[in-house]
Amino acid sequence: MGAACRVDFYIVDSPQEEAVELITCRLVDKAWSHGLKVLILAREQAQQARLDRLLWTFRQDSFLPHQALPAETTAPIMIGTPALQLPDGFGMLINLCDEPPAAPDRWQRIAEVSSKEQQRLARTRDRFRHYRQLGLSPDNHALAAPG
């Protein structure tokens, strides 16, 4: 594990998946504004499709150049699922899955986004412990649900 990998957990004060997806769009927007290429790892194809639509509409004045995998070309922001081949060359991974990503040292930053739904929160705690076992010191951020 490279020392440069930073892991942040963002826990949205809501049990709703829609709140997690809106927070994900805000994180993507912030990372993109800082020049990071972002790979979003959605839980399944339905979430991938929702995020693809939401990245166009979550803010009126926002343009986030993104594309869903699989794709012939790569955009600075890509959305994939665990079943797909994930491309290299992205500085940040936003993980919405219940499992930690394989080879977390592929990224400079990993953002783990979760809701307060009890089963999701339990799996989030497991991922937190996993990163600690790898020698990383993840940070926690409690976020209000978008309103």
Question: Residue 1: its pLDDT value, please?
Answer: 44
Give residue 134's pLDDT. Answer: 94
H/E element, 80: strand 77-80
Domains of the chain: 6-143 (3.40.50.10110)
Per-residue tens of pLDDT for the chain, all 147 residues: 444 699 999 999 999 999 999 999 999 999 999 999 999 999 999 999 999 999 998 888 877 899 999 998 889 999 999 988 888 899 999 999 999 998 898 899 999 999 999 999 999 999 999 999 999 999 999 999 987
